[in-house]
Structure 1
Amino acid sequence: MFVGKILSTLGGQGPTLLVISLCAGLLIHPLAHFGYDLLPVSAFLLTLGSFLTAGLAPSEARIRLPLIALVLAWVGLVLPLAAAILLSFLPLDPALRAGVLLSLLAPPVGSAAAIAGMLGLRPRLALLASIALTLLTPISIPCFATVLGLGIAFDMSALAIRLLTIIGAAGLVAFLTIRFRRHLIPVLPDQRAATGIAVIGLIIVGLATSQGIRAHWINNPLSFDVMLAAAIVANFGLCALATLMFAKLGLQTAGTIGLVTGNRNVTLVWAAASFGLPSLAEGYVAASVIPVLALPLIIKLCLRLPSVGRLLPQS
């Protein structure tokens, strides 16, 4: 029961812990190194926690094919193309433009379902969107990069194998865990405990990415501050835009679409480029990690505002 209580506590305090982990990594250098060493484990924990959170989530409205098609088209196609058109009119450095577009080409984070569970949204919808777009990444990113003229080479074959392995293994473990859950109640007492597994992975990511964030900030503080401000406006703005655009679908559905719109797995795209991005592009991708980790807490606070509750239908 002790392990289960710890996991449930982590799941309940997840949004706050993500911000704390990032700050801890920035302030305490050994913690950042510790997180970086554990980074390979985090992807599995994030995906496993999301599968389990969705599997143990309370009943939610049926996810019809038109809804999932709408979400996938919006997140994976409409938004990147609209951003590419908008950025073509702005006098940006090509490397910075590439960084902005890459952050929007990334699929939702692997922990999207777990984060949706933390916020009382729709974990199953978030899981479907995240897994589907992640599996399409080895095809979608190189195609978009070529069409948009980003001039960045991607080694997607190794990444595709890794993604399939992680998702397949996490899915199998989650299936067996739920199938024999009656024997695992002390470890997995409720949905929050499942979310707690993903929170551990996210804490590792927060600690690990703080190392790269610190390096970029030290090298060029002014430039990184500007990119961070742009990343915050873009991520939070897109989250709010999507939530308002789909408000007629209800608070839970609109909030979930907003979540997967703004919370992107930018480190996956960084890895897909074999960490060979131009300096400006790499700096923007690193800056994008900060609002990604802070977004769950911001959404949780916003959803508590009475004005938001009145604006969005509850059904």
Structure 2
Amino acid sequence: MSFPFARYIPRGPTLLIFGVFTGIALPALAETARPAMAVAIFVIVLGTLLRVDGSAFLRTLRQPRLSLFLPAMVMLVCPLLVTSAARGAGLSPDLALAMVLSVCAPPSGGTAAVARLLGFDPTLPLAVTLLSMALAPLTVPLLGQWLGGIGFDPYELALRLFILTAGAAAVAGLLRHYARRALARTGAAVDAAVFGALLVFAVATMAGVRAQIEADPALALSCVALAFACNLALQALGVVLTPGSLGERLTVGLTLGNRNVGLVWSAMGAATSPTMALFFAATQFPIYMTPRLIAFLMRRAEPETAKP
């Protein structure tokens, strides 16, 4: 079965960048999309769960590097590294906490869809994302409270994260049980729904950002620079530490760098300060722009690998 929106997926990296800048250029549209943020996150998580290949996932669990080392890197080591960097940089408490929480978040549910857009194997990011999401209700509140030390009730955040992830898992389980054949025929539609949710989320996260940029350009620029530095450093860490082909290494880099900040953002609700919201919004720039950069690098690498 064809899905009309699916034909736009090959242009996904470019369209996602377009979504971010549309949200800035059209503040009213971003404000309109803002209430849909939680729904978009739910769809992204649900789509991730629906696209899991059970046998491939079980094979992944048998590989300690993927089932233990990478989730530990994502959910424990990376937050510790970023916390050390944030404290060393002397950031304000709100900005430091926002950085810590953004990296405590599990990998973006859209990473597997982005991997498909780039021609990479999505099994690894799917598996690591699922394992990380299972840990998130425990690790995000505890690490955020311990490393950041301020700003929110860890038990309430844990409950909200659990509701989001467990709710999506329950719906995915029901769909897999009662509509298994339909799902097998509509994988492209699931990918398209995830991509559409990513696009809606990209626009929605820019709500209020234009006004904040105009009110305090220096702070906005600092948030964007920090978001890029954090994301690219984690991606570089993944590329350096991962054996295998360039595609596998870049996939691990995307998994480490691109986090589901919206999951934490949605769960925190009113506890999110304006500075934290600005940084969370800034994290969307590297998330949506680096796939375009990786596609460019892969095109440049292909002629080199083809040379005798």
TM-score under structure 1 normalisation? 0.84
What residue is the counterpart of 1:76 in the other structure? Answer: 75
Please say if residues 53 and 114 of structure 1, whose CA atoms lie closer than 8 Å, have aligned partners that are also in contact.
Answer: no
Provide the rounded CA distance (Å) in 2 between the counterparts of 1:309 and 1:244: 20
Provide the rounded CA distance (Å) in 2 between the counterparts of 1:118 and 1:168: 27
Partner of 1:88: helix, strand, or coil? helix
Equivalent AA in structure 2 for residue 250 of structure 1: S
2:12 corresponds to which of 4, 11, 14: 14
In structure 1, list runs of 5 or more residues that go unmatched. 311-315
Provide the rounded CA distance (Å) in 1 between the counterparts of 2:273 and 2:145: 16
1:65 aligns to 2:63 (yes or no) = yes
Alpha-carbon shift at residue 108 of structure 1 (Å): 0.8
1:151-300 matches, cutoff 5 A: 151-154=150-153, 155-156=156-157, 157-174=159-176, 176-181=178-183, 185=185, 188=186, 192-246=188-242, 248-300=243-295
Partner of 2:207: helix, strand, or coil? helix
Please say if residues 96 and 148 of structure 2, whose CA atoms lie closer than 8 Å, have aligned partners that are also in contact.
Answer: no
Please say if residues 27 and 208 of structure 2, whose CA atoms lie closer than 8 Å, have aligned partners that are also in contact.
Answer: no
Please say if residues 103 and 285 of structure 1, whose CA atoms lie closer than 8 Å, have aligned partners that are also in contact.
Answer: yes
1:103-114 matches, cutoff 5 A: 103-114=102-113
Equivalent AA in structure 1 for residue 216 of structure 2: N
Provide the rounded CA distance (Å) in 1 between the counterparts of 2:35 and 2:281: 18
Alpha-carbon shift at residue 35 of structure 1 (Å): 2.1
Please say if residues 44 and 167 of structure 1, whose CA atoms lie closer than 8 Å, have aligned partners that are also in contact.
Answer: no
Once structures 1 and 2 are overlaid, which stretch shifts more, 44-53 or 284-293?
Answer: 44-53
Equivalent AA in structure 2 for residue 46 of structure 1: I
Partner of 1:210: helix, strand, or coil? coil
Q: Deviations over 1:94-135 (max 9, x none)?
A: 222112111111111122221221122231221121122122
What residue is the counterpart of 1:42 in the other structure? Answer: 40
Alpha-carbon shift at residue 275 of structure 1 (Å): 3.3
Once structures 1 and 2 are overlaid, which stretch shifts more, 71-80 or 32-41?
Answer: 32-41
Provide the rounded CA distance (Å) in 2 between the counterparts of 1:251 and 1:55: 23
Provide the rounded CA distance (Å) in 1 between the counterparts of 2:168 and 2:58: 28
Partner of 2:89: helix, strand, or coil? coil
In structure 2, list runs of 5 or more residues that go unmatched. none
Provide the rounded CA distance (Å) in 2 between the counterparts of 1:221 and 1:72: 36
What residue is the counterpart of 2:149 in the other structure? Answer: 150
1:131 aligns to 2:130 (yes or no) = yes
Q: Deviations over 1:4-58 (max 9, x none)?
A: 242331322221111111222221234223322433431233234334444499x
Please say if residues 57 and 127 of structure 2, whose CA atoms lie closer than 8 Å, have aligned partners that are also in contact.
Answer: no
Instruction: Identify if the C-alpha distance between structure 1 residues 283 and 304 changes in structure 2 by more than 3 Å, giving closer, same or farther.
Output: same
Aligned length: 300
Provide the rounded CA distance (Å) in 2 between the counterparts of 1:149 and 1:45: 29
Q: Deviations over 1:276-299 (max 9, x none)?
A: 234433322221122112222222
Alpha-carbon shift at residue 241 of structure 1 (Å): 2.7
Provide the rounded CA distance (Å) in 2 between the counterparts of 1:175 and 1:219: 51
Provide the rounded CA distance (Å) in 2 between the counterparts of 1:194 and 1:118: 14
Provide the rounded CA distance (Å) in 1 between the counterparts of 2:304 and 2:57: 19
TM-score under structure 2 normalisation? 0.86
Please say if residues 14 and 118 of structure 1, whose CA atoms lie closer than 8 Å, have aligned partners that are also in contact.
Answer: yes
Provide the rounded CA distance (Å) in 1 between the counterparts of 2:178 and 2:33: 28
Equivalent AA in structure 2 for residue 66 of structure 1: P
Please say if residues 231 and 286 of structure 2, whose CA atoms lie closer than 8 Å, have aligned partners that are also in contact.
Answer: yes
Q: CA RMSD in A?
A: 2.8
Q: Deviations over 1:126-164 (max 9, x none)?
A: 112112212222211121123224212232213312321
Equivalent AA in structure 2 for residue 208 of structure 1: A
Provide the rounded CA distance (Å) in 1 between the counterparts of 2:265 and 2:191: 26
Please say if residues 236 and 262 of structure 1, whose CA atoms lie closer than 8 Å, have aligned partners that are also in contact.
Answer: yes
Provide the rounded CA distance (Å) in 2 between the counterparts of 1:56 and 1:200: 25
Equivalent AA in structure 2 for residue 237 of structure 1: A
